[in-house]
Amino acid sequence: MDVVKMSNVKDKTVFIVGGSTGLGKEIAKELASQGAHITIFGRNQKRLDEATIEIDTAKQSENQVITAVSADMSDATTVRAVFASQPRLPDILICNAGGTSTELGFLIDLEPDVFERCMKNNYYTSLYPARAVLKAWVEDDRDSKALAKPKERKIVFVNSTASLCPAPGYLAYNATKSAQRALAETLRLEATRYNNPKSTYKVQCVFAHNFISDTFLIEQQNKPSLTKRLENTEGDLKMLEKKFPYAEKIAPEIVDAVAKGDYAVLDGRFESQIVWGVGMGGSPKRCWGVWDVLLALLAMFAWPFERRRWGFEK
């Protein structure tokens, strides 16, 4: 268990892949307000520029450095070059790129190129940055001097309740999130091997549940009606607002939960907790695991009824 429960991000450097819109941007703003230096990575220069202004406005002090880099983070060579050219190694890497605005639907309605594209956007954009940064950290440990307190090095993968409770209509996306989750869990174990007096390594996984953002609204236009019914996202924006929070509401909750240090990170809603209960499986339990085990037992009871409702809906 962590001795220092609340991790302080003041003066720390944070890289956020997929930090120019939605949840990534809101997390960037929250971290900026807590004193961190932020570099966001994305593909769209215009969105990056707009996001930089917003994040800059949120910062705590003038010493904080807020920058943006436009690059295709799903390409291994590009990622390596882009990270190598940064002035500083990050303390925290947040892999937030992803989403599925144009890959929704049932298997036989999709074109085959959709699957590779979805995997690129959601899995490789986590994989290559994580690998590049982990490699750089391990090399830095070899060459650097020991400090009074070990450096805290952290990778946070932003995953989804899609990997806990897959819903129909998200076939392409669910698989990519399952892949990202398997990567996060395996890496968590592997990373602990690199712990040494100079640095401690931590891997965390955020299971984000449905929230409202620009990407979500585009998704809604492409989503099959059946999917909307099953995941309770039917209705216009006004109705959705009643049921789901905006990204800016859950971002601070997520940042807080990340600071607590547990592997699995959820936002504050009870619904998210129950979905975690259903799908946690062999994943590391939070804290001592008591609450998570109870959740899982409760969910095991309740889930078959929900699943049967889905069956009937179809």
Partner 1 sequence: MGSFLSKNEFPVAGRTILITGGSKGLGLEAACELARKGSNVTIVARGKDSLKDALALICKSARSPDTQHFHSIQADVSTAPECSRVLSETIEWNNGSPPDIVWCCSGSAHPTLFIDTPLDQFQTMMDSNYLSCVYMAHAVLNAWLRPSPSLGQHGSDSPKTANPTPPLARHIIFTGSFVSFYSFTGFTPYSPSKAAIRSLSDSLSQEMNLYAAAHPTLPRVRVHTVFPATMPTQSLEDENVVKTDLTKSLEEGDQILQPDECARRAIRGLENGEELIPTSTIIRLVMTSVLGGTVRGGFWKGLANTLLGWVVMIVMVFIRWEMDTKVRKWGKRYGSSGMLTKQ
Binding site for partner 1 (CB under 8 A): 76, 106-108, 110, 112-113, 115-116, 119, 123-124, 127-128, 130-131, 134-135, 138, 163-168, 170-171, 174-183, 185-187, 189-190, 192-195, 226, 278-282, 284-285, 289, 293, 296-297, 300, 303-304, 307, 310-311, 314
The rounded distance, in Å, linking the Cα atoms of 264 and 268 is 13
When the beta carbons of 76 and 259 are compared against partner 1, the nearer one is: 76
When the beta carbons of 193 and 242 are compared against partner 1, the nearer one is: 193
Least Å distance, CB 146 to partner 1, is 16
Q: Which of 51, 94, 92, 95 is nearest to 69 (CA)?
A: 51
Least Å distance, CB 219 to partner 1, is 16
| C-alpha to C-alpha distances, 9 to 37, 149, 152, 251, 304, nearest whole angstrom | 9, 15, 10, 15, 42
Least Å distance, CB 206 to partner 1, is 17
| C-alpha to C-alpha distances, 225 to 71, 105, 169, 235, 244, nearest whole angstrom | 34, 10, 9, 10, 18
Task: Tell whether the torsion through CA atoms of 109, 115, 117 and 120 is positive or negative.
Answer: positive
**Could you tell me how far CA 3 lies from the centroid of its own chain?**
25
When the beta carbons of 35 and 284 are compared against partner 1, the nearer one is: 284
When the beta carbons of 63 and 225 are compared against partner 1, the nearer one is: 225
For the record, the structure tokens of 8 come out as 């302080």
Task: Tell whether the torsion through CA atoms of 54, 55, 61 and 64 is positive or negative.
Answer: negative
Q: Which of 176, 180, 171 is nearest to 110 (CA)?
A: 171
When the beta carbons of 124 and 211 are compared against partner 1, the nearer one is: 124
Q: Which of 31, 164, 21, 39 is nearest to 99 (CA)?
A: 21
Least Å distance, CB 55 to partner 1, is 30
When the beta carbons of 40 and 187 are compared against partner 1, the nearer one is: 187
When the beta carbons of 45 and 186 are compared against partner 1, the nearer one is: 186
Least Å distance, CB 187 to partner 1, is 6
Pairing of strands 151-160, 199-208: parallel
Least Å distance, CB 123 to partner 1, is 7
Least Å distance, CB 44 to partner 1, is 24
* Exposure string for 90-116, b = 16+ CB within 10 A, e = fewer: bbbbbbbbbbbbebbbeeeebeeebbe
